[in-house]
Copies of this chain bind each other. A is one copy, B any other.
């Protein structure tokens, strides 16, 4: 069972905006045992949309159109699908009434072009939109002698998601042969993708029924496993067996076997050990604190910290002696160590982390002259003392800052193991 997603909208052909609905739709279709085989993005032109609809209907069993259902002249999906299938559109009075009510509730007269949204393909089921004005449509047809399912959804993600979940998924589940999809995700930090692949490929290649995807981004490797079987137990058993073998191979390199973020895992470990954390950040400028506090409930274990961008603040907030900064330079092992110990003492946290480094664009200046771009020191202080790790990171400012926080979290995680 193959699906195609056709996203209509000229804005998605500019350099500024992308179709994102298809990621959500792919996950939902996979859940139903359906693979997405094609995605097409097409502008608001009747000829182009009709051509895209023909191609899609000739090659995919399920065709989902997103966008182009609004009230404007540019909204042409209904017309294109009708032309492709040789069907008429009829105006649905229930929808017209609902539209009038919607506008009346906002005390605005309804502009007449809105009535377009009530045009339904002959034979289609109208799918009410709980989040907006344009309804969706669901239609089973024969096209070139083949059975096709055609679905029209509005483009705004909130509307599309609600409509798919409430109206489309139950209908597809009723029609399609039962398929159950099991998923697992293992995550590792700061290991080269090629290393992970070399060690895990001999394992996952033995599991033909499980689809394995390796993603490497931002200092993290994700292994996604997905398996569709007629029963969930069967699918889950395959995926779990594979995940277990890979966990045996990669051991503590795996920080999450259920998809949690690295910062979430670290907070969980702090909680289990009844420990608290504080941070003093120079080059990362608050990014580590921001990542930790993005996790709901982080306040129980993360107290806060300081962004000590200016050298004077390293002394004001973390008691780093000005003489040390002057002698060793702000980017130095000594300053990272003093930041970690100082922020720990100031805040009363069990663990203090200090980060200092050169995020660029240029290399070190002043007391740091001669030190290279990407040089980062990460200090970790606890009751037993302070350790500092020296890193040489690659890339631009954004990448160096991100990787520095990624290393800090991974150092902390391994410390807590």
Contacts and interface: CB of A to CB of B under 8 A. Distances in A.
Contacts of A207: none
A42 interface: yes
Nearest to A397: B296
B316 A309 contact: no
Residue in A14, A226, A292 with the greatest tally of chain B CB atoms within 10 Å: A14
Interface stretch (A30-38, A142-150, A382-390): A30-38
Interface stretch (A119-127, A238-246, A300-308): A300-308
Interface in A223-265: 224, 226
A73 interface: no
Contact of A41 (B39, B285, B303): B39
The copy count of this chain in the complex is: 2
A348 to B, nearest CB: 7
Given A16-B213, A16-B215, A37-B42, A361 B309 contact: no
Contact of A296 (B48, B287, B361): B361
A131 interface: no
Given A41-B39, A307-B304, A346 B285 contact: no
B285 A287 contact: no
Interface of A is mostly: mixed
B11 A18 contact: no
Interface residues of A, number: 72
Contacts of A292: 285
Contact of A309 (B42, B215, B299): B299
A315 to B, nearest CB: 11
Given A18-B20, A294-B401, 16 more contacts: A14-B26, A14-B30, A17-B215, A18-B18, A37-B42, A37-B43, A38-B42, A38-B43, A38-B52, A294-B397, A296-B361, A304-B307, A304-B308, A304-B317, A310-B347, A313-B347
18 contacts: A11-B215, A15-B24, A15-B27, A16-B215, A18-B18, A18-B22, A37-B43, A37-B45, A37-B48, A39-B40, A279-B307, A284-B290, A285-B290, A286-B289, A286-B305, A289-B290, A290-B290, A306-B317
8 nearest A-B pairs in the assembled complex, by CB-CB distance = A285-B293, A286-B286, A286-B289, A15-B27, A304-B309, A303-B310, A39-B41, A286-B290
Interface of A: 11-18, 20, 22-24, 26-27, 30, 35-43, 45, 48, 51-52, 55, 59, 213, 215, 222, 224, 226, 278-279, 281, 284-290, 292-294, 296, 298-299, 302-310, 312-313, 316-317, 346-348, 360-361, 397-398, 401
